[in-house]
């Protein structure tokens, strides 16, 4: 069964430093996508970055990069040069690519609460 595991309930990082948020996943599918979302205290879920299982390059979006290690089934999020506004809950999620309508759902981990300190 597909599963996402985030083992860090909470983390602290100093402003301007880099931080890595861990995510491991379990799936028997060969085709899937991995997503990271940010959820500030306001509650909205903000899409950050996407990595497809067949993408050879690690995804990057501005200060966000995804360290994708397929053999280890890990998809860690790296935030460079942390800012105070990065303080939020971060969720890793996976979507399997089976066609037929029934399995295009997103499965989430339990999240990591990141606190950026000045």
Partner 1 sequence: DVKVTQSSRYLVKRTGEKVFLECVQDMDHENMFWYRQDPGLGLRLIYFSYDVKMKEKGDIPEGYSVSREKKERFSLILESASTNQTSMYLCASSLGTPGNTIYFGEGSWLTVV
Q: Show Cβ contacts of residue 56 under 8 Å, excluding neighbours closer than 6 positions.
A: none
Of the pair 56, 118, the CB lying nearest partner 1 is at 56
Q: How many residues bind partner 1 (CB under 8 A)?
A: 29
Distances, alpha carbon 60 to alpha carbons 63, 65, 77, 91, in Å:
8, 4, 10, 17
Stretch that binds partner 1, among 14-22, 35-43, 71-79, 80-88 (CB under 8 A): 35-43
Tell which one of 28, 30, 102, 118 touches partner 1 (CB under 8 A).
Answer: 102
Cβ burial, residue 90 (10 Å; 0-12/13-18/19+) = buried
Of the pair 21, 109, the CB lying nearest partner 1 is at 109
Residue 99 backbone phi and psi in degrees, to 5: -80, 165
Of the pair 43, 118, the CB lying nearest partner 1 is at 43
Question: Tokens 């995510």 — which residue?
Answer: 23
Question: Could you list the residues that contact partner 1 (CB under 8 A)?
Answer: 4, 31, 33, 35, 37, 42-45, 47, 50, 52, 91, 93, 95-99, 101-102, 104-111
């Amino acid at each position: 069964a597909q599963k996402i595991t985030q083992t860090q309930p909470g983390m602290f990082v100093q402003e301007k430093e880099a931080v890595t948020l861990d995510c491991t996943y379990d799936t028997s599918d060969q085709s899937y996508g991995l997503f990271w979302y940010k959820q500030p205290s306001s509650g909205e879920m903000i899409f950050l970055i996407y990595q497809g299982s067949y993408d050879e390059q690690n995804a990057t979006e501005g200060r966000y990069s995804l360290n994708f290690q397929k053999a280890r089934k890990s998809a860690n999020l790296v935030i460079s040069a942390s800012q105070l506004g990065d303080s939020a809950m971060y969720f890793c999620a996976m979507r399997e690519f089976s066609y037929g309508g029934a399995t295009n759902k997103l499965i989430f981990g339990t999240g990591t609460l990141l606190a950026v300190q000045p």
